[in-house]
């Protein structure tokens, strides 16, 4: 994975555009375990040429100083059924745009709702 440093507001704008288009899953993590899950998904479904369809954005919430990882995974590369099976989940990812890793605290959920304006977060 290539690294790109961008202004935090530009990163938030990129994530917002992809949320609005509903072409990507937003995978949210708040610890090394969450990051490991994101990297695992990237390695399984987005390696090689598909790498351009997966990105990870790192943010620090202002209120709680919590490091948050936001992965944007293009839905065209993996079906909702494949993703659910890979994550050992019974969730129906056809109707979801946001996936939370088990480590996400309430403070990060509050930050998401304050930062991003999308029906998929409600």
pLDDT for 44: 94
Q: Across-strand partners of 74? A: 24
The answer as to whether 3 is a domain residue is no
pLDDT for 122: 55
The answer as to whether 12 is a domain residue is yes
**Range(s) of the domain holding residue 79:** 8-113
pLDDT for 78: 92
The answer as to whether 121 is a domain residue is no
Q: What is the pLDDT along the chain (122 residues), one digit of tens a residue?
A: 554 545 567 778 888 888 888 899 999 999 889 999 999 999 999 998 888 899 888 887 767 788 888 999 999 999 999 999 999 988 888 888 889 888 899 888 888 888 887 676 65
Q: Domain tally for the chain?
A: 1
The answer as to whether 48 is a domain residue is yes
The answer as to whether 56 is a domain residue is yes
CA dihedral 102, 118, 115, 30 (to 10 degrees): 10
Measured from the Cβ of residue 71, the count of other Cβ atoms closer than 10 Å reads 25
The answer as to whether 25 is a domain residue is yes
């Amino acid at each position: 994975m290539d690294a790109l440093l961008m202004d935090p507001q530009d990163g938030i704008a990129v994530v917002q555009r992809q949320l609005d288009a509903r072409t990507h899953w937003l995978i949210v993590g708040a610890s090394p375990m969450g990051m490991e899950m994101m990297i695992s998904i990237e390695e399984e479904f987005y390696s090689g040429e598909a790498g351009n369809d997966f990105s990870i954005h790192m943010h620090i919430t202002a209120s709680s100083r919590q490091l948050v990882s936001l992965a944007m995974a293009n839905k065209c590369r993996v079906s909702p059924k494949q993703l659910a099976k890979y994550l050992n989940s019974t969730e129906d990812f056809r109707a979801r745009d946001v996936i939370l890793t088990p480590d996400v605290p309430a403070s990060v959920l509050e930050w998401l709702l304050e930062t991003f304006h999308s029906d998929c977060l409600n």
